[in-house]
Structure 1
């Protein structure tokens, strides 16, 4: 057995390569898992950060994905050590999975820093698990590869494809309007979730998988492969092999991710019709990577990018078709010079080199730039005005063209629960031109920016045939949602933003071409209202909730904790014993 003299400067040598009682203890305890002495001969020790959990259904199959990663690590001569992380399931967690994204990032960061790891493979799937793991890994800056879990197989209902999320919202409205029976609605529950994996639409999970690939932090072609396709396990195995080589090459996130990478991700998000949640996640990731990225960049960088991917909720198809058409490499190929093709990736090659010969097998799904789903300009737009001085966003590809310029009276609710209690009332004072507003849903206010923005249309309007109206919130909406919804209003109402001063009956103007969001209330009147009462924030229910409310930043900067931005590296912790 080696006593620590041949470890080639690896970080793990500070544990397993030591002489004396400390090295003895570190090595001895690993023997109880059946490892042989060859584990300590200088091989790269690779962590596998696994967010598998029965409480996060989209991530449950990552246990099997981890086995494939281990095979790859072993085949390449490394030592795989799997460990669990906090897991965030958007479908079950309350008050919002977003509240715990930063907690998961802290978990990943500190686990990586505290343990004898030379590199890490991150396994995530559901919406917040991917950005959370990446945030932690970017702060530590060990060699890192992300393997996402992949989408479910297409949902099937009444002989037709049905997309998770998007069709849930549609079916729910049909039930409320009396056009779909509750029995059919119940039957659809299982029809939309036919296999392991995350949402089948271009929701947040699929979006973040694609953007991770665009950032260069996952292997090319990995984002769209269905969770149950054998190719998912082959690419996981390849990631396990690749991370061992990355350790030898010293290829860390800081040598891969730069301003070009984030510009690519923003433009890819526009081309795929990605989730508005990508805005807060990319801003948070840029903060960890110490890359300058602002909210306005999402509008400016995407201005000349057409919508190329014809997927729900902005189009027709689902992730299976996207995978079979060629996935993200096909999009990169179609975007051409709109991307920084020299940007680095985990393969050791550039993005352009990775995708140089990428085929597009189905131009109905991944359109060409000469025949896009929508011309340039249907991206996530950034709005400002006296209702959102620090910005708000709207997903144009999911909004109604006729509502891009709209003025109407506000109908204001202080909580989403208050709105739900009244939404079906025939006496609700609402018309098609009303602007629905729900506040108190921002990062600190709710807490955690819940996905409540796609407010259900009031039943009296549904019965009248209304299918869309302007809605405004300081919260978020699911990436699977659609509609003319203004989100992420900053500052939020709980932080004293102007949204807190809006009153029912005030005239609100949405002018997307001018990028404006305003209320027709004088500055003098706003000052008077501001003196009436301050914003109310509920008392924290737990220690972590107190920490979250006290330190979370606003949506326009990524809603990370103010004390976590930046890269802190991976110094070996102090010894004990």
Structure 2
């Protein structure tokens, strides 16, 4: 065990009532007095029986607990809510998914701060658990190690094609258009997942695991990794000694997740053409740190002259397994050279640069030169989205994307999808879907089904799509501007768009504009409260979403819960 310079904060004065009552509780669990005086570590386990993302976490938690004990600590497993997009997006317009990220962070805070635990090890799995855990680490500022628990294995179809859940997600939208049969879809569904872990591909979960390593919050060389791989189990076994050493060195998240670390993380996301959802999650994590970091501006600045150096499915032909074998995150960071700040600390206490020197790099997968000149994640500004909007482009397609057309406005995803299927959405139009933002749904609704419906109808290249809703972290077809802020449920440009208004989008110029004159804009803003449509998913008073909708910050500030001046 690393020698501690100070008494762990979890150790109350001997003889005090707090000491006596906690000793009584822990003696009843079978611990002796020596064990009770050890540093106490929260093993944060977002286990759930709802999805395979979490199916293996209980066994990992036991391995981590043993590693903590062997290192001289005492591990206590704590549970949190476990948001899973594909299952929990079914209710209340999908609002419980993104808002569940914040519940994860507050679940952790309540236990770690309430019990005055000394550190934590977080088992990172599905899309929202990793950012929620990193938010809690930054907020509590107790020494923390993230263990990435890996991606799932996938299967093959009768014709030999590889299939994963993201392909099921996309192809389900083609069923209504007759582009795929019901039996074909069922076969894909039957074979897409063959083991525990998060979705394959460079979606949000794998992107956020990579972010955790680039921020310095994991053991170097541990992301991405297949669930139940040797690398994953080695990371679990190393977590105990790492967190005890971090406590001894007072190596807190505020010393690891610095502005330099966030710059490294943004650079890494761009290099792997990661999920666009990483933008809001990084913004939310940054908001919990004591540092002044504007993540949207980092994506704009770094993405202007930096592009992807690998093309992982669905961005290109490389599987996540091949990327993992090629060196993964550590190889990407090494390949990025002086674009990475090598002086950033990692949770192990070593400098990031020291961990990169011996990293293997497979040149066939992780390229020396960018596959395109600029980032595939494009932050948009303009009179339609003065705060921000986001476009996700393909790695391989580098043509200019411009579009100007009249708006066709819808207030719900089902309404928009039905209009497409009825042939009411015409080539040359800009399909506007609003009311899906963090307050409008509330909790942020998923708009990807509309993208897939446009693709199935053959309209992807003929109709632009703009929305304040959440999009899949993967490549979108055609011109799609998502996560527009201010959202349509508050006074702002998106909320005042009417059918027939001209909208102009220029991805190369990073602009999206509502082409109405100033006097008309001002008039609509003044009368917005009288003309706003009712919410599709109004929050029930007193419910979690009711609390969330009244406290959530705008999306461009990470959609975290509102801070007071005292914070």
- TM-score, normalization: structure 1? 0.91
Question: How many angstroms does 1:161 deviate by?
Answer: 2.1
1:471 to 439, 455, 465: 465
Please show how residues 32-431 of structure 1 align to structure 2 within 5 Å. Answer: 32-40=28-36, 42-93=37-88, 94=91, 95-96=94-95, 97-157=97-157, 158-165=159-166, 167-294=167-294, 295-360=296-361, 362-369=362-369, 372=370, 374-397=371-394, 401=398, 404-426=401-423, 428-431=424-427
- How many angstroms apart in 2 are the aligned matches of 1:127 and 1:414? 26
Question: How many angstroms does 1:188 deviate by?
Answer: 0.6
Q: Secondary structure of 1:146's match?
A: strand
Question: How many angstroms does 1:330 deviate by?
Answer: 0.7
Q: Secondary structure of 2:381's match?
A: strand
Task: Report if aligned partners of 2:412, 2:433 keep a CA contact under 8 Å in 1.
Answer: yes
Which residue does 1:529 correspond to in 2?
Answer: 524
Structure 1 pair 37/417, CA: closer, same or farther in 2 (3 Å)?
same
- In the alignment, structure 1 residue 480 sits paired with structure 2 residue 474: yes
Q: Deviations over 1:22-68 (max 9, x none)?
A: 3222112112222233212x322111011111124312311111112
- How many angstroms apart in 2 are the aligned matches of 1:562 and 1:116? 24
Structure 1 pair 102/458, CA: closer, same or farther in 2 (3 Å)?
closer
Structure 1 pair 451/113, CA: closer, same or farther in 2 (3 Å)?
same
Question: How many angstroms does 1:348 deviate by?
Answer: 0.6
Aligned length: 551
Which residue does 1:11 correspond to in 2?
Answer: 9
- How many angstroms apart in 2 are the aligned matches of 1:237 and 1:218? 13
Which residue does 2:512 correspond to in 1?
Answer: 517
- How many angstroms apart in 2 are the aligned matches of 1:384 and 1:463? 29
Question: How many angstroms does 1:148 deviate by?
Answer: 2.0
Which residue does 2:540 correspond to in 1?
Answer: 541
- TM-score, normalization: structure 2? 0.92
- How many angstroms apart in 1 are the aligned matches of 2:359 and 2:127? 27
Task: Report if aligned partners of 2:54, 2:125 keep a CA contact under 8 Å in 1.
Answer: yes
Unaligned stretches of 5+ residues in structure 2: none
Q: Deviations over 1:81-110 (max 9, x none)?
A: 111112111121132300222222111112
Q: Secondary structure of 1:407's match?
A: strand
Question: How many angstroms does 1:242 deviate by?
Answer: 0.9
Structure 1 pair 79/524, CA: closer, same or farther in 2 (3 Å)?
same
RMSD: 2.2
Unaligned stretches of 5+ residues in structure 1: 1-5, 569-577
Structure 1 pair 409/403, CA: closer, same or farther in 2 (3 Å)?
farther
- In the alignment, structure 1 residue 23 sits paired with structure 2 residue 28: no
Task: Report if aligned partners of 1:317, 1:365 keep a CA contact under 8 Å in 2.
Answer: yes
